[in-house]
Amino acid sequence: MAVYRADLHIHTALSPCAAEEMTPPAIVAAALEAGLQLIAVTDHNSAGNTAAVQEAARGSGLTVLAGMEVQTCEDVHLVCLFDTPVTALAWQEEVYHHLPAGTNREEYFGPQVLMDACGRELSRETRLLLGSIDLGVEEVIRRVNGRGGIVLPAHVDRPSYSLVANLGVIPPALPVPALELGLLSPAAARQKFPALAGWPLVAASDAHYLGDIGRRVTEYDLEVVTLTTLTRALQQQQFKVVIDAAGSNLR
């Protein structure tokens, strides 16, 4: 068993609201500088840069999970994680079918840059990724679970784009292994939002800039990094949340 210091919510420059500095090699360098062993690439409604970040991390000691941050028809953000970029890209094609029609306006939303492992631009995604698909929270979770992935409802303690703020409740028996916090410590979040009682609560940075990577992390006790071992660690509370620079346990 080893401790993996993890930040499982990081955007690349494919997300139109992320900085252009969020290239694969720069993300890997920033993650290593922050002392991370595990990250996830979770761009808005797309998985197009996951393989590039994995390739950039090859041989570095940093493990990169393929993921995506989906925005549901209720405007709720869900972090979807997969074992391989192939599975994430297959999910991407399904998500693309449920995006609204329209193209990205770079002058308004920002560019959506697809890159190689060296950070060179390959192309630009023309679909408007910064919007809601026409599937609801429970349907997205059902479909991701059906593909062997897992879902972590994102930043549930924020006043927008969150399960608690947008739905007002957490649906009973929601088939997710944990909920992600974006602002508060687990203790403070449970005090402010009684609906979070009983749920495993993790933290991640939702990094859109290099300086945000590793700002909020969770340390997982894992034998190896797979979605199965990660899910087990969440269910068995084999993790601790670390938010401040001193590394205090904010369980």
| Full domain range(s) for residue 199 | 2-242
What's the pLDDT tens digit per position in 221-251?
999 999 999 999 999 999 999 975 433 344 3
In a domain, 50, yes or no: yes
Number of domain units in the chain:
1
Has residue 224 been placed in a domain?
A: yes
Inside any domain, residue 248: no
The verdict on residue 249 lying in a domain is no
Q: What is the CATH number of the domain that holds 50?
A: 3.20.20.140
Residue 193 has phi, psi (to 5 degrees) of -125, 95
Using CA atoms, how far apart are residues 92 and 250, in angstroms rounded to an integer? 34
Within a domain: 251: no
Q: Which pLDDT tens digit goes with each residue over 16-48? A: 999 999 999 999 999 999 999 999 999 999 999
Q: Identify whether 250 is part of a domain.
A: no
> Is-above-0.85 flag for pTM?
yes
Residue 185 Cα distances to 37, 96, 156, 157, angstroms: 22, 34, 12, 10
